[in-house]
Structure 1
Amino acid sequence: MTAFVTRRPWRGRWIALAGIVLVGLNLRIAVAAVSPILGQVRADVALSDPLVGVLGTIPVASFAVFGSLAPLLARRFGLEVTLIAAMVLSAGGEIVRSATSTPTGFLGWTVIALAGMGMGNVLLPPLVKKYFPDRIGAVTATYSMAMAVSTTLPALLAVPVAARIGWRLTLGAWSVIGLLAVVPWAVVLATSASNRAERAGPARRSPSGTRTAAQGAPGQVWRSPLAWSLAVMFAMNSLNAYVMFAWLPRILTDAGLSADAGGRWLAVFAILGLPCSFIVPPLAVRMRNPRALLYVFAACFVVGYLGLMLSPAHGTAVWMVFVGLGPGAFPLALTLLNLRTRTAAGAVALSGFVQGVGYAISGVGPVLVGVLFAATGTWTGAFVFLLGTVVALVVGGTAACRPGILEDTWGPAS
């Protein structure tokens, strides 16, 4: 545990916890806030169908590219400074995006907003490792819940709020969360600077400062089998989630359900992530090898997909509960980012690699499913493909759950 935590056990940890929760609340807002009011946006900004398709690919592309850059920036400037910059970037992108009147401007500022969120994705796990090494499960559950809320809250509020104040103010207002997320981390840095000499002395850098915990990751993370296993697990889970968000309403309406029903079941799919986010991290921390949790979530995917493939219009509620519980492997993967590293430097390196590779792969999923459906005219081939990704999820996850430490497997520095 860092000296910051030891010397100021409540003040420092409560401020850091508030910062972690606020960042978690901000990490999906820019994505989830657009789709409920996309019709109004298109009417004003003139987004064509191809550009809407581009808009749908921006989140995973930004998360992959800018998430991969986050470890480099964190080693140069520190975890906290990089996170503050990421939150300012996301808030600024949201504000300017809401004011733009051109398609290219809207897409460009969406990239900026999601760049900040992509970096935030990667930086949160090592911050948990740094400030809460003794509460990894509880704090990971807390910010996972915050991320789940940030996915569902815009879907509930965007339409009625936009009806009152317009879509531009509605989109811009979400930037407040990103700006609020800056405040606790600015306090942490200010407190660190004012007490650095007293607490650390000349031979040690501030534990909540800008350099020590994030610098010096000495290994080559891409050489670690553990890192690749966790990347496969993360990628396959994310791929399945993005496919469901993209195609589930269409799958259900093609089976004879109404468009409203398809939208409601998609909301159920999203909401079921909340209990998983709360329960899974504390359980994983208590298990030497949490593969049993992985197998439960994989089985949920299999049962749900088979039901939707063979009888989507009958027993839909049962199939959707199973499919909705399948992405519980996501908070498990976030927890493993810290359980399989020894230091905050290792956590930021592993987080950047796993999320960069994972989001890059997962972004291909919705496209492949669309191609399979267009080629066959049915959803059977798509579900066979998804069942294959569940097998990959189990293989990668089984290896990632096996006890091991990144720093023991990532090879020497280049």
Structure 2
Amino acid sequence: MSDEEVQILNRPQAARTASQQPLPAPATTPQPAWLGPVLLVGIVLAALNLRPAITSLGALFEETREGLGMSGTVAGLITSVPALCFAVFGVTAPRLSRRFGPAAVVCAGMAAVAAGLLIRPFATNAAGFLAASALTLAGIALTNVLLPVIVKRWFPDRVGTMTGLYSMALAAGTSLAAAATVPMTQALGGSWRTGLLVWGFLALAAVLPWLAIGAAARKEKAAASGVPAARPDAGPGVMRSRTAWALACYFGLQATGAYITMGWLPQIFRDAGVSASTAGVLLAVTMVMGVPLAFVIPGLAGRMKNQGPIAVGLGLFGLVGYLGLYFAPAGGAWAWALLLGVSNCAFPLVITMIGLRAKSPAGVVKLSAFAQSTGYLISIPGPLLIGTLYQHTGGWDLPLALMAGLLVPQIALGVLAGRDRTIEDECGMRD
């Protein structure tokens, strides 16, 4: 479940069927007075740490590649690892949550993020750097899935407010790391290792509140141990739905564009003559566009029966942005960064469509798991292919043509996924 998906799940859905089991009564154990404020701090700190591992590396990618002797292909593999980890480790989050509790898993996730970020600057080769990055990304994947669960569990009457809060914190962490990494590195002596290491201390700070939250959650779980667990609903067979496949492929292509942007956009600008610090700020501009649009797009899409026109509009913004990078990367750098930032807001659109393409909450969860896990797997080859093309052609003409070309099927899939229909109807399932 993604960061913004809880907004969709919280919307009124079709009535539950008679066959669905009711949720168990919540535990009546009184919560300590300190838990609410500590949860607030913990959620914000966790969200701040969900993207700096990726965008800080993007800002120092050239220095890191040279320092570790990475080829373009290996560098492309590094930019593909986030999608792979999100697909693989995100799937394990529900099972781990059922066994240990969501708070404990988020605590472990933040510890993994901190450990990976503190270890990887000391790597002496690409393999060690990749392993440490994978550890960090595994922790991010678990936290990505479970933060919405935490919000719904402890703030059931303030889901929208809390979701907006941590969504803004996530965007702030993303853009802060992109903009501040290069100047902070220069201020600390100029070593890329120091510039990456700093973000490990922010992640370490996020572990502390979750230790206390996890302890409180264990006590509450022990007090509620006699409450029977709800029987999970299997949900519809989404793999038989053409709309589900359209959503999964659309999710995969938008994720491909997002990770190529985070991993390679600063390098594109730097190769065009833009300074390293300005290239980091340009990436921050692209990322920060998601803050206001993440609130606007879901509301607009929810009022429309067909969301295809929004998918077309976002795709066209991306096409113009890539064409600009092809013809005048430095001259119109700020405009291209803004346009690509708008195009990357296909993420909140696809999350909204997931919520609209199923009739029941159980159907939404089933569809979301399928679309996101399949989509992240689809997105894995993209950054690797871009790195390989960049290495073998020595420039960005062919990679940029490929990026623009991928937007064509993305637009077509968005139109298919945006049609007013549900997976239950397509699969012949009851509501």
Common topology (TM > 0.5): yes
Aligned pair count reads 401
- Displacement after TM superposition at 1:349 (Å): 5.1
Superposition TM-score, scaled by structure 2 size: 0.72
- Displacement after TM superposition at 1:111 (Å): 1.4
- Displacement after TM superposition at 1:91 (Å): 1.7
- Displacement after TM superposition at 1:384 (Å): 5.1
- Displacement after TM superposition at 1:330 (Å): 1.6
1:216 aligned residue: 232
CA distance in 2: counterparts of 1:340 and 1:139, whole angstroms: 25
- Displacement after TM superposition at 1:286 (Å): 6.0
2:407 aligned residue: 390
- Displacement after TM superposition at 1:25 (Å): 1.3
Cα distance change of structure 1 residues 137 and 409 upon mapping to structure 2, 3 Å threshold: farther
The answer to whether the Cα contact below 8 Å between 1:125 and 1:338 also exists between their aligned partners in 2 is no
Match runs of 1:16-165 below 5 Å: 16-37=39-60, 46-49=68-71, 51-101=74-124, 103-128=126-151, 130=153, 138-162=161-185, 163-164=187-188
Amino acid at match of 2:90: G
Cα distance change of structure 1 residues 48 and 126 upon mapping to structure 2, 3 Å threshold: same
- Displacement after TM superposition at 1:297 (Å): 1.8
1:202 aligned residue: 226
The answer to whether the Cα contact below 8 Å between 1:129 and 1:347 also exists between their aligned partners in 2 is no
Amino acid at match of 2:71: D
Amino acid at match of 2:166: Y
CA distance in 1: counterparts of 2:96 and 2:243, whole angstroms: 23
Amino acid at match of 1:33: S
Superposition TM-score, scaled by structure 1 size: 0.74
- Displacement after TM superposition at 1:242 (Å): 2.6
- Displacement after TM superposition at 1:247 (Å): 4.4
Note the residue ranges of structure 1 that are not aligned, 5 or more in a row: 206-211
The answer to whether the Cα contact below 8 Å between 1:297 and 1:325 also exists between their aligned partners in 2 is yes
The answer to whether the Cα contact below 8 Å between 1:57 and 1:363 also exists between their aligned partners in 2 is yes
Cα distance change of structure 1 residues 259 and 33 upon mapping to structure 2, 3 Å threshold: closer
Alignment RMSD: 4.5
Tell which deviates more after alignment, 324-333 or 314-323. 314-323
The answer to whether the Cα contact below 8 Å between 2:80 and 2:259 also exists between their aligned partners in 1 is no
Does the residue aligned with 1:33 lie in a helix, a strand or coil? helix
Cα distance change of structure 1 residues 119 and 177 upon mapping to structure 2, 3 Å threshold: same
CA distance in 1: counterparts of 2:424 and 2:216, whole angstroms: 31
1:231 aligned residue: 248
The answer to whether the Cα contact below 8 Å between 2:115 and 2:200 also exists between their aligned partners in 1 is yes
Name which of 285, 303, 317 aligns with 1:300. Answer: 317
Cα distance change of structure 1 residues 266 and 158 upon mapping to structure 2, 3 Å threshold: closer
CA distance in 1: counterparts of 2:30 and 2:352, whole angstroms: 26
Cα distance change of structure 1 residues 158 and 304 upon mapping to structure 2, 3 Å threshold: closer
- Displacement after TM superposition at 1:17 (Å): 4.8
2:17 aligned residue: none
CA distance in 2: counterparts of 1:182 and 1:156, whole angstroms: 24
The answer on 1:242 being equivalent to 2:259 is yes
The answer to whether the Cα contact below 8 Å between 2:247 and 2:414 also exists between their aligned partners in 1 is yes
- Displacement after TM superposition at 1:326 (Å): 0.8
CA distance in 1: counterparts of 2:422 and 2:211, whole angstroms: 32
Cα distance change of structure 1 residues 84 and 161 upon mapping to structure 2, 3 Å threshold: same
The answer to whether the Cα contact below 8 Å between 1:140 and 1:335 also exists between their aligned partners in 2 is no
Cα distance change of structure 1 residues 392 and 156 upon mapping to structure 2, 3 Å threshold: same
CA distance in 2: counterparts of 1:157 and 1:249, whole angstroms: 13
The answer to whether the Cα contact below 8 Å between 1:84 and 1:182 also exists between their aligned partners in 2 is yes
2:13 aligned residue: none
Amino acid at match of 1:175: G
- Displacement after TM superposition at 1:327 (Å): 0.7
CA distance in 1: counterparts of 2:29 and 2:241, whole angstroms: 33
Does the residue aligned with 2:234 lie in a helix, a strand or coil? coil
2:350 aligned residue: 333
Amino acid at match of 1:29: P
Does the residue aligned with 1:354 lie in a helix, a strand or coil? helix
Cα distance change of structure 1 residues 340 and 89 upon mapping to structure 2, 3 Å threshold: farther
The answer to whether the Cα contact below 8 Å between 1:129 and 1:344 also exists between their aligned partners in 2 is no
Percent of aligned pairs with the same amino acid: 37
CA distance in 2: counterparts of 1:252 and 1:300, whole angstroms: 18
1:359 aligned residue: 376
- Displacement after TM superposition at 1:27 (Å): 1.2
Note the residue ranges of structure 2 that are not aligned, 5 or more in a row: 1-9, 11-24
Amino acid at match of 2:130: L
Name which of 203, 207, 230 aligns with 1:178. Answer: 203
CA distance in 2: counterparts of 1:197 and 1:248, whole angstroms: 49
The answer to whether the Cα contact below 8 Å between 1:270 and 1:324 also exists between their aligned partners in 2 is yes
The answer to whether the Cα contact below 8 Å between 1:47 and 1:103 also exists between their aligned partners in 2 is yes
- Displacement after TM superposition at 1:189 (Å): 4.8
Cα distance change of structure 1 residues 349 and 33 upon mapping to structure 2, 3 Å threshold: farther
Does the residue aligned with 1:174 lie in a helix, a strand or coil? helix
